[in-house]
Structure 1
Amino acid sequence: MSTNDEPHRPVEARLPQMVFPDHTNHLGTLFGGQALAWMDMAAFIAASRYARRTVVTARSEQVDFKLPIRQGQLVEAIARVVEVGNTSMQVEVELVAEDLLSGERELCTRGRFVMIALDARGRPTTVAALPTA
């Protein structure tokens, strides 16, 4: 339950990255592994900020690569904590590519990550429930 004296818990994190040649394959598009690394980092930041605890990735689920991300585009990883269990957080992550000259943005990749909160001894620990609307 959320109360007025409970600290604010951000549920979203945004992580922009430029796609440089060393991030791409022979077709000039973002390596899938690089996309997953950026998504995992965004999920980590969102879950850490929400839980205010050390977190680790427990699982990545259903990552859909819808459109290629090209060298020279800006990519924004948008991560949102969408569900909270006892010690876990489900984080949805989208990769949105932006053409810096036109400003056109497209959703390219979407996935879900399960993050676990840890205590000082490295053991799973409870996380506050998501606030209700």
Structure 2
Amino acid sequence: MLPAPIEARLLEMVFPDHTNHLGTLFGGQALAWMDKAAFIVASRYARRTVVTARSEEVNFRVPMRTGQLVELVASVVKVGRSSMTVEVEMTAEDLLSGDRRVCTTGRFVMIALDSNGSPTSVPALPSEG
């Protein structure tokens, strides 16, 4: 059996319905994409149902504009008994020039649940072995 992935990558496009009146990505849309990436990597790592317990230290550094490709990289960086801390980095890419910039970073705490909806244990990170 293969080890559980500790990283997930997602790609999204910034379309006009994702932006505000300035043509930049709504912060709420960025948070939704980041939470989705955190959910995917935590679910794959724990092989359990997971929920978001907390988002923290979200930094909006550079605006993402209509027409840009957004790559999200989510990594499990810390594991507790039932919790997983996931760091997410969003990079915007101009498809014509290839210019790439890290735009937003954040950290999410995800909790693994058993079939009754109660917190349940997750495996330690390989380096924590």
TM-score by length of structure 2 reads: 0.97
Matches for 1:36-55 after TM superposition, within 5 Å:
36-55=31-50
Q: CA deviation at 1:123?
A: 0.5
Structure 1: runs of 5+ lacking an equivalent: 1-5
Q: Secondary structure at the match of 1:132?
A: helix
Aligned partner letter, 2:111: I
Q: CA deviation at 1:101?
A: 1.0
Q: Secondary structure at the match of 2:101?
A: strand
Is 1:18 the equivalent of 2:13? yes
Q: CA deviation at 1:97?
A: 0.2
Is 1:129 the equivalent of 2:124? yes
1:32 aligned residue: 27
Structure 2: runs of 5+ lacking an equivalent: none
The one of 68, 75, 79 equivalent to 1:73 is: 68
TM-score by length of structure 1 reads: 0.94
CA distance in 2, matches of 1:40, 1:132: 25
Is 1:115 the equivalent of 2:110? yes
1:3 aligned residue: none
Q: CA deviation at 1:7?
A: 4.3
1:97 aligned residue: 92
Moved over 4 A (4+): none
CA distance in 1, matches of 2:44, 2:100: 26
CA distance in 2, matches of 1:103, 1:80: 24
1:62 aligned residue: 57
How many residues are matched? 128
Q: Secondary structure at the match of 2:28?
A: helix
CA distance in 1, matches of 2:120, 2:113: 5
